[in-house]
Structure 1
């Protein structure tokens, strides 16, 4: 699989390099995620500049929350697929930056007891 960027998704002044296959598979979701990331980065810039108004912060919090919800759905889907492919608890612990395999095992077990949520379904392309 070629991982060299062939296409760049542009949103809110942000450029994200993707392979042509990735861009095709993600479609408009690539632009959505890029736009959300751009707004989250704008929120950080406002904070660092010390000029964030309540309205600015409200918008930044809303966009950051939506980005976090989507990223959490992506990670949940990845962990579920990792389990389906019989990935080890040690490898999962390393991937999740955990110091304990038991913690990774516990988190995976808790996830697998639940049905996929809307964001997890979105991540695998089963929900808009």
Structure 2
């Protein structure tokens, strides 16, 4: 990622996430929401690396990281539910999920498919009502 100054007035730097225009259009305000959560998580990481952190700062970092993780998990789970995901071998699925065992990948997929689609999975697919 490259960095460019966001504003000379505030002396902040901005991380740029390269996305195609079509992706930005498809994401709409959800992309901005994810970017804000990601920024909060990165700020928390920076705080952890640079010195003493207050309980309030930690709470904000935890909340941002948790919100981001929940949405990322929903993207993964919604992807696993897609019809094309049936064509992914358990070995390839284990590799994609960073698991050592294809049996674990198979078990996780089965468990997911037994559960109803979550609200955040509907959010991930753009079908939340």
TM range (shorter): 0.7 to 0.9
Q: Is the 8 A contact 2:79 2:85 kept in 1?
A: no
Q: Shift in Å at residue 16 of structure 1?
A: 1.3
Which runs of structure 1 show a deviation greater than 3 angstroms over 4 or more consecutive aligned residues? 82-85
3-state SS of the aligned residue for 1:13? strand
TM-score, normalised to structure 1, is 0.84
Q: Is the 8 A contact 1:77 1:124 kept in 2?
A: yes
Q: Shift in Å at residue 123 of structure 1?
A: 0.4
Task: Provide the rounded CA distance (Å) in 2 between the counterparts of 1:99 and 1:116.
Answer: 26
Q: Shift in Å at residue 103 of structure 1?
A: 0.8
| 1:97 corresponds to | 98
Q: Is the 8 A contact 1:16 1:34 kept in 2?
A: no
| 1:3 corresponds to | none
| 1:74 corresponds to | 75
| 1:123 corresponds to | 124
TM-score, normalised to structure 2, is 0.84
| 1:20 corresponds to | 21
Q: How many residues align?
A: 118
Superposition pairs of residues 25-64 of structure 1, within 5 angstroms: 25-64=26-65
Distance 1:82 1:101, change over 3 A: farther
Q: Shift in Å at residue 51 of structure 1?
A: 2.5
3-state SS of the aligned residue for 1:112? helix
Cα RMSD between the aligned structures? Answer: 1.9
Work out which of the two has the higher radius of gyration on C-alpha atoms and give 1 or 2: 2
3-state SS of the aligned residue for 2:77? helix
Distance 1:83 1:114, change over 3 A: farther
Gaps of 5+ in 1: 1-9
